[in-house]
Structure 1
């Protein structure tokens, strides 16, 4: 699977977990990898059960990491989405933002620009036209806010 396909699958699992409690996470992960369950598209690797163990482990680990940091991630989303309470944000957009915030803040193996671009692409694919701009604006604000904090911290250290 490509990284984009993997990220797409992670988004779908994080999205479905919005409708299930934390105890149901393992069931959702099992469901996501069940070769008997049809995929969304004809070329979906999961449709044919051709997910490597490495990809399965990566997806599972990342989903569990996102869910374990959900409270922190949601707090970050609340801070950067001034005037928007979490319940007002669409479920798809929220799942995309959770994945994007996780990748920007906690996954050092993914460059920030890539994380933002991939989140925007997910929004274009699964949400309405304005959602990609919303996702882009919030994640860009997060990145610029982090850079401002680093720069002000460096200035304070230099003094």
Structure 2
């Protein structure tokens, strides 16, 4: 599984956060894995680990995003944009193994696939401020 595929799976997993109760997330993630096409055990472990690391830092991540997205409250952001910003912000601020330009580029590319027409430029602008 490529790094982009991992990010896309992580995006789909994290997207569920705003639609389910905190105590239902583990069940949602298990359901997600059951729908994947023959995932390898190490892929499940990596996705679960990264998902949990982001959730552990979600309050700090959201504060960083809200400060950078001046004039935008998190509840006013599109869920696709917010989810991608959360992943990229985690990678920029808390994951030393991922270069900042890579985190930004990957978020923009995934936004082109899943977001609205203005999502890539919005995400790029917010992440540039965060970086």
Residue 12 (structure 1) aligns with: 12
Structure 2 unaligned segments of length 5 or more: list them: none
After TM superposition, the score normalised by the length of structure 1 is 0.80
Secondary structure of the equivalent of 2:72?
Answer: coil
In 2, Cα distance between equivalents of 1:21 and 1:107: 26
After TM superposition, the score normalised by the length of structure 2 is 0.96
Does 1:90 find its partner at 2:44? no
Does 1:33 find its partner at 2:66? no
1:13-92 maps to which residues of 2 (within 5 A)? Answer: 13-34=13-34, 37=35, 46=36, 48-49=37-38, 51-92=39-80
Instruction: Check the 8 A contact 1:17/1:28 in 2, yes or no.
Output: no
Structure 1 unaligned segments of length 5 or more: list them: 38-45, 144-159
Residue 94 (structure 2) aligns with: 106
Instruction: Check the 8 A contact 2:91/2:98 in 1, yes or no.
Output: yes
Residue 149 (structure 1) aligns with: none
Higher relative contact order (CA 8 A, sep 6+): 2
| Alpha-carbon RMSD | 0.9
How far residue 122 of structure 1 moved from its aligned partner, in angstroms, is 1.2
